Amino acid sequence: MNWSVYIILCTDNTLYTGITVDVPRRFDQHATGKGAKYFRGRQPEQLVYVEPGHNRSSATKREIDLKKMSREEKSRIIASDMNKITKGV
């Protein structure tokens, strides 16, 4: 199964990092309150980063690595060629 790591910019200007096999579906779940508890009291504003091509294990490891990064480091990753956001997501 093809897993992706993603980062969402929230309305309070925080960045949320997660993994899924279906990024658009997961974003919609977060937006409608059916996703992570993190979105209680805040809303997802925009999908800003997608990194596909993982299996469950490598996606989890990458998610952990991203969560350890500073905001500045995440901003560089978001602006990098590793970001595979496509139009319409």
- Domain spanning 3-79: CATH superfamily: GIY-YIG endonuclease (3.40.1440.10)
The pLDDT value recorded for residue 28 is 95
Residue 69, number of CB atoms within 10 A of its CB: 14
In sequence order, the β-bridge partners of residue 75 are: none
The pLDDT value recorded for residue 86 is 65
**Res. 67: pLDDT tops 70:** yes
Q: Which tens digit of pLDDT belongs to each residue from 11-59?
A: 999 999 999 999 999 999 999 989 899 998 899 999 999 999 999 999 9
d(CA 76, CA 88): 23
pTM of the model: 0.92
Provide mean pLDDT across the span 77-83: 92
Distances (CA, A) of 57 to 6, 37, 73: 15, 22, 23
Distances (CA, A) of 16 to 1, 24, 33, 34: 23, 15, 14, 15
d(CA 17, CA 78): 12
**Res. 87: pLDDT tops 60:** no
Q: Domain ranges for the chain, please list them.
A: 3-79
- The percent helix, strand, coil of the chain (3-state, each to 5) is 40, 30, 35
